[in-house]
Amino acid sequence: MSSADQITSERVVISIDVMSGDGGLGAVFGGLQKSVRKNARLAFILHGQQDKIDAQLARRRDLAAVCDVRDVDKIIPMDAKPSHAVRGGKGSSMWNAVESVKKGEATVAVSCGNTGALMAISMLLLRKVPGVHRPAIAILWPSHNASGFNTMLDVGADIKAEASDLVTYAVMGAAYARHGMHLTKPRVGLLNVGTEEHKGRGALHDAATELEQRDGDGFEYIGYVEGSDIPSDKVDVIVTDGFTGNIAIKTAEGTASLIRGLLKQAFSHSPLSRFGALFALTSLRRLTKRIDPRRVNGGVFLGLNGTVIKSHGAADATGVSAAIKLAFQLAEGGFHERLAARVASGIQSSETTPSNGPKDVTSSEATRP
């Protein structure tokens, strides 16, 4: 059917967990097929049940030609606890997909599975980049900016963040914005509230003080931003802890979904409004495309020795294809190496003693070959 020798050195190899999503194998393979038709330089290592994968590939000869299939006998369910996934996940499609990045067979891993399980397995196998205490998940957020997007992190890797974590998120987020949105000097803002005299929590103040000193170090620190600024054109990278970031992204999803629903109601209210909808259809499609969450599918795990992308659990073929496109962009430009270098230089410039806590040390075992 397919073999590794078909994957040439010119190709960018992405490791795919084909089993873990809610959308089923049809969605994943639909997305893979879309991707290879658009981009001839893609190749995949597919981790999943051989018979099911074979059935999908039998109908997709062009895709089969660039796929290397690895059989697994285990799938991590969407409701698995991260600790269970780590203890019992070895040999699963998710585990093996990340392990392909660790082994250097693939540059980026993509999974539609459980975020917590994927992060736990990724941390265990890839380990943290020296200088990173907490990894983060970064997403692209539709905005008024010229590129159409802002970057926000952390949206849920860790519910806590100390001041030093927020500073690291700023450095990593700026690296991502430079790479992904071709910005020379991204504008970084710290998410805070505007109603309190002391403007938020202690960690935010300390991070702000540090970022003011770092300003110019590959980014411009613009100070505090509020929730209403997240989709604005006054900031490129929004930094927050994973609890707040997760609430914010889901609140935005809920708001967009409410408005979509009400828009639909408004246009089906009467025969005249249904007639109006016919004329408005193209405009509405243009809007929908612009804020379609499938177009920006993919949370990138930052701060690990290797790049992992979490695709939406319910992603369809368009969503999976968007995640693959993001994976290709990050793989091709050597994003991970640049980010690690940037974090390391940040530590040298700001810390007098290196971080040597036992949990922070990157063991030789964890270093990618």
Could you list the residues that contact its own copies (CB under 8 A)? 81-83, 115-116, 142-144, 156, 158-159, 191, 193-197, 200-201, 226-232, 240, 242-244, 246-259, 261-263, 265-267, 269, 272-273, 275-284, 286-287, 290-291
User: CB of 237 within 8 A of CB of 187?
Assistant: yes
Nearest residue (CB) to its own copies, 22 versus 332: 22
Q: Tokens in use for 361? A: 């040390």
- Closest CB 298 distance from its own copies, rounded Å: 15
Nearest residue (CB) to its own copies, 58 versus 258: 258
- Closest CB 301 distance from its own copies, rounded Å: 12
User: CB of 60 within 8 A of CB of 29?
Assistant: yes
List, in order, residues 6 or more apart from 118 with CB less than 8 Å away. Answer: 20, 94, 98, 111, 301, 308, 310
Burial 11-36 (b: 16+ CB within 10 A, else e): ebbbbbbbbbbebebebbbbbbbbbb
- Closest CB 201 distance from its own copies, rounded Å: 6
For residue 41, the tally of other CB atoms under 10 A from its CB is 13
Alpha helices in the chain (DSSP H): 24-38, 50-58, 61-64, 82-88, 93-103, 115-126, 163-181, 202-214, 242-267, 271-291, 317-332, 335-350
Nearest residue (CB) to its own copies, 4 versus 159: 159
Q: Tokens in use for 109? A: 């891993």
User: CB of 192 within 8 A of CB of 200?
Assistant: yes
Nearest residue (CB) to its own copies, 107 versus 145: 145
- CA dist 225 and 205 (Å) reads 13
Nearest residue (CB) to its own copies, 280 versus 366: 280
- Closest CB 246 distance from its own copies, rounded Å: 4
Nearest residue (CB) to its own copies, 61 versus 274: 274
Nearest residue (CB) to its own copies, 279 versus 363: 279
Q: What angle do CA 75, 79, 84 make, to 5 degrees?
A: 70
- Closest CB 206 distance from its own copies, rounded Å: 15
Of the candidates 118, 213, 217, the one whose C-alpha atom is nearest the C-alpha of residue 174 is 217
Name residue 189's beta-bridge partners: 223, 238
- Closest CB 227 distance from its own copies, rounded Å: 3
